[in-house]
Structure 1
Amino acid sequence: MHQKTVLRNGIRVLTEKIPFAHSVSTGIWVGVGSRDEEEDERGITHFIEHMLFKGTQRRSALDIAKEFDSVGGFANAFTSKEHVCVHAKVLASHLPLVVDVLSDIFLNSVFSDNEIEREQQVILQEIRMIEDTPDEYVHILFQEMFWKDNPLGLPIYGSAQALESLDRTKVLRYLSRHFHSDKIVISAAGNLDHDRFLELIGPPMEGLNHPALPGRRVVPKNHPLVRIIPKDLELVHVCLGMRGNSQVDENRFASHLLNVVLGSSMSSRLFQEIREKRGLAYSVYSFSHSHVDAGILGIYAGVGARNVQETLELIREQLSLLADELISDEELNAAKEYLRGSMYLNAESTDSRMNRMAKNEFLFGRFVDFSEIEEKIVGVRAEQIRDWFREVYTPQELTVLLMGPVEMDRADVEKALS
């Protein structure tokens, strides 16, 4: 059973009652992310997410950790390019505790100077760790190329320079500007009662009264480009892509099915052709990154320097086949079952249901039933997938990044792919 209430200050409260569950997952979401930051604020949303667990007026960081540990609960937070969320999962009997702690850290975090300095060092280490992980770092560099000159392409963790310039005044100013009630969704799923949840969450959250300010998001444009970054690594990390679908695009179901067929599963064409049949790469897959107004359909492969050209040619071959020929009924039906199965298996988690409710509220302003999504998936025809892919795939307009001991030059790469 799904229920929604809008508090007097505009905060939306969503619940889904799951009587057979033992737990409740609760999240306080804000519709702001790294793409909303100014130049001198890069990484501030992610930084605030970290700081929310560093102490409030009533609780120290240790107190917060102990309260969740004492009931066997779990609490965390995350930042994306469009959202920040602080969330927790506890047994249903401990719902009053989780609401009290989450609302306290969301509304009353102190952001002390000492904790700010300490956490700056922690996140700087996080940045260095990512940059030392080439199969992750190549995706960050690729998105910077793909959405050049738009904040959506910049890394969520920001830059070291901007991070080091953060102070308490800048953090509080950002919170006041962006964490207002119209952007907040509170989502809870599990064995709970909606009215009881409102009694707990309403009084503290209705006191939030930051003024609403208009957003400044600019729809990004993708930039076709081939870039080679020579680096002393064991493998060449290849990342390439094209315009994908947004999270509200009617073609998103066709895109997701194509992604499954192309490379997001072990039986996919790229995995079978490049890894299983030829052993050219240990890791090869396709991916779909979707946002509210834009998306990427991309491919990653980690290959030895001598195998790069053959791998690129095989990728080109598979992309061309998808543009020229219809996916077989067998492949299409298998892809539909893959998406359908993933959806319903995820639905067995209260965390997943809490996340899904909040995201649907941000995107569509309503709860979207699983049966509605299943109907959309099942109804996709092979012709729709091919026609959509023909719109987005042009061999000469790919964005391509190679990082590692590359033995090809830019012209060789372009030739292999087109």
Structure 2
Amino acid sequence: MGRAVVPTVADIGGGLRLVHIHNRGAGAAIFGVDILAGSRNETPDTYGLAHFVEHTIFKGTTKRKAWNIINRMESVGGELNAYTTKEETVVYSVFPSGHTSRAVELISDLICNSTFPNAELDKEREVVMNEINSYLDSPSEAVFDLFESELFRGTPLAHNILGTEETVARLSTDDCRNFIDAHYTSGNMVAFYAGPMGFDSVAIQINRHFSSLKSAKPDNNQDNGTFTPSIGRNTTRQSVGSHQAHAVLGITAPPVNSRERYAYSLFANIIGGPGMNSLLNVVLRERRGLVYNVDASAAFYTDTGALELYFGCDNDSLARCLRLIDNTMKRLADGTELSPAKLDRAKKQYLGQLAIAAENRENRIMSEARTTLLLGMPLSYELTRENIQEVSMDQLKSVANKFSDACLYVLGE
């Protein structure tokens, strides 16, 4: 990992920044844009708009019909994709090297020239509504949105990304166009590229095709609310008639620009990371067979974050699982669960996982683009390593103590 290519970042004109990783000799490349616009930028009347726009920019531009858009990269063996989060929209293409100009031109067309024809919007509206219903049919997924609606209650982060059938039914061509005009601007996005083409050559392609992009950085006018961790456990239970109980516990976490986030990331990996030796996987599954999986994650936004723990178990085992989790948090909080030697091993394991993850070129360039968008620069592995190594036992005890009063949302009987 220490020998990884260092990304180059520069403003290439109009406030648009390019994050570039030069993978010499690579047979494939990736190009895309990361836009600081997501579900938190919506109003209550337009919940689901950011995600709907992400879907419908593929449905026609002033130059192309929908079929021409989806065929443009696939015809050369590439793929075109996009996704929406609470704070971002990412549009990107992975393609065989030699087709960078094709990818840059196509994505610029989607960003700058989408027309949102009514007939296509109506068809895609049905697709999104089916997505909403399919999501609600999966309690292991739906429980996260329901949990976050409680954790972030009263703020634009509370509602889910898909919106509701009612709000999606109302979204119009003007809504989509206005969202693009307000947020898809050069000062509000980062372009990214990883592949064999050099920085200057990629920058020339971007400047050629993105010349019509608005340069102003928008006033997002976000009413972010006040993020206050719950005091005492706020428990919400909803009956869905499922065989299993699906539970999420969590607390608010520091924002992405806080060094405290490293303690939360490490804590999440210790209690429910991808390793089978994660603390709660051992406590709940390996020793007692109470759950099939237990996963912890930490997400960091511009002004807050979330530390979440998910597990699914038989409804009859829910209370026992919660007691075991509470007991584990108490042992972490009082220092009896984690010795200095165990902490050192936990740091080594986490850093090793990060090093392996960084070998995935697609994941790495997207991660570098996101940190540049939110923090103004990429975060090197060396800096991440230093911050993880500096996490103290007292910091982890503090996180565990807060987690003892975590909010809880349960879908089950």
Fold agreement, TM-score > 0.5: yes
Unaligned runs of 5+ in 1: 406-418
1:339-378 superposed matches below 5 A? 339-378=350-389
Q: In structure 1, what residue type is equivalent to 2:378?
A: F
Residue in structure 2 matched with residue 412 of structure 1 by the alignment: none
1:22-43 CA-to-partner distances (Å, cap 9, x unmatched) read 2211111111110111111111
Q: Which of 45, 50, 58 is equivalent to 1:53?
A: 58
Equivalent position to 2:253, from 229, 234, 244 = 244
1:287 correspondence with 2:297:
yes
The one of 377, 399, 403 equivalent to 2:411 is 403
Q: Partner of 1:32: helix, strand, or coil?
A: coil
Deviates more, 1:43-52 or 1:354-363: 354-363
Corresponding position of 2:3: none
The partner residue of 2:263 within 238, 249, 254 is: 254
| Structure 1 residues 218-261: Cα deviation after superposition (integer angstroms, max 9, x where no partner) | 15334452111122111111211122232222111221111111
Aligned identity (percent) is 26
Give the C-alpha shift of residue 124 in structure 1. Answer: 0.1
| Structure 2 residue runs without a partner (length 5+) | 1-5
**Matches of 1:55 and 1:222, distance apart in 2:** 44
User: AA paired with 2:97?
Assistant: A
Is residue 194 of structure 1 aligned with residue 199 of structure 2? yes
Match of 1:357, SS state, is: helix
Shift, 1:199, TM fit: 1.3
1:7-86 paired onto structure 2 within 5 Å? 7-86=12-91
SS at match of 1:35: helix
**Partner deviation per Cα, 1:17-60 (whole Å, 9 max, x = no partner):** 12142221111111111011111111110001011211222222
After TM superposition, give the deviation of residue 270 of structure 1 in Å.
Answer: 0.9
* Contact 1:241–1:298 (Cα < 8 Å) also in 2: yes
Residue pair 2:248, 2:308 contacting (<8 A) in 1 also: yes
Q: For this pair of structures, how many residues does the alignment match?
A: 402
Distance of 1:45 and 1:51 partners within structure 2: 10
What is the CA deviation profile of residues 199-225 of structure 1, one whole-angstrom value per residue up to 9, with x for unaligned ones? 111022232226543223315334452
C-alpha distance in structure 1 between counterparts of 2:35 and 2:63, whole Å: 23
* Alignment map for 1:18-417 (pairs within 5 Å): 18-209=23-214, 211-217=216-222, 218-219=224-225, 220-223=227-230, 225-264=234-273, 265-325=275-335, 327-390=338-401, 392-393=402-403, 395=404, 397-405=405-413
Supply the distance in 1 between the matched residues of 2:102 and 2:178 (Cα, whole angstroms).
Answer: 29
Contact 1:23 1:350 in 2 (8 A): no
Instruction: Kindly state the Cα deviation for residue 398 of structure 1 after the two structures are TM-superposed.
Output: 2.6
How far apart, in 2, do the equivalents of 1:389 and 1:20 lie? 46
Over 3 Å counting, the alpha-carbon distance change for 1:285 and 1:211 in structure 2 is: closer
SS in 2 for 1:156: coil
| Native 8 Å contact 1:261 1:331 kept in 2 | no
Code of the aligned partner of 1:46: H
Cα separation, 1, equivalents of 2:9 and 2:258: 25
**TM-score where L is the length of structure 2:** 0.92
2:157 partner SS: helix
Any conservation in 1 of the 2:22–2:198 contact (CA below 8 Å)?
A: yes
Aligned residues of 2:329 and 2:400 also touching (Cα < 8 A): no
Given the superposition, is the C-alpha separation of residues 387 and 398 from structure 1 closer, same or farther in structure 2, using an over 3 Å criterion? closer
| Residues 99-147 of structure 1, C-alpha deviations (whole Å, 9 max, x = no match) | 1111112211221101100000000000000000011011111110111
Does the CA contact (< 8 Å) of 1:282 and 1:302 recur in 2?
yes
Q: How far, CA to CA, are the matches of 1:53 and 1:41 in structure 2? A: 20
TM-score, normalised to structure 1's length? 0.91
Q: Which amino acid aligns with 1:250?
A: R
